[in-house]
Amino acid sequence: MKTGYRADNAFDGEKVVPGGALVLVEEGRIVAVRPGSAAAPVGYAVTHLPGTTLLPGLVDTHAHLCCDSRPDALDRLPGLRPEEMSATIEAASAAQLRAGVTALRDLGDHHWAVVDRRDRLAGPTVVAAGPPITSVGGHCASMGGEAAGIDQLRRAVRDRAERGADLVKVMASGGAMTPASDLNACQFTPAELHAVVDEAHGHGLPVVAHAHALAAVEECLDAGVDGIEHCSCLTSRGRWAPPQLLERLAASGIAVGPTLGRAVEEEGPSHPTALPWDERLAHAGALVRAGVSLVSGGDSGISPVKPHGVLPHAVIDLVRCGLPGAAALASATGLAARACGLSGKTGRLRAGLDADLLLVRGDPVTDIAAIRDVRMVVSRGRVVVDDGRPR
Rounded Cα distance, 381 and 2, in Å: 10
Per-residue burial over 304-335, b if 16 or more Cβ lie within 10 Å, else e, is bbbbbbbbbbbbbbbbebebebbbbbbbbbbb
Contacts with 237 (C-beta within 8 Å, 6 or more apart), sequence order: none
CB 57 within 8 A of CB 100: yes
**Domains of the chain, start order:** 2-56+347-390 (2.30.40.10), 58-339 (3.20.20.140)
User: What is the pTM (predicted TM-score) of this model?
Assistant: 0.96
Say if CB 216 and CB 256 are below 8 A apart: no
Point out the residues of the chain with pLDDT beneath 70: 265-275
pLDDT for position 273: 52
Short-list 271, 327, 355, 342, CA closest to 31? 355
Position 204 scores a pLDDT of 98
Express each pLDDT in 260-317 by its tens digit.
999 876 555 444 555 688 889 999 999 999 999 999 999 999 999 999 999 999 999 9
Residues in Cβ contact with 188 at an 8 Å cutoff, skipping those fewer than 6 apart: 135, 153, 170, 172, 196, 219
* 96, burial (CB in 10 Å: exposed 0-12, middle 13-18, buried 19+): buried
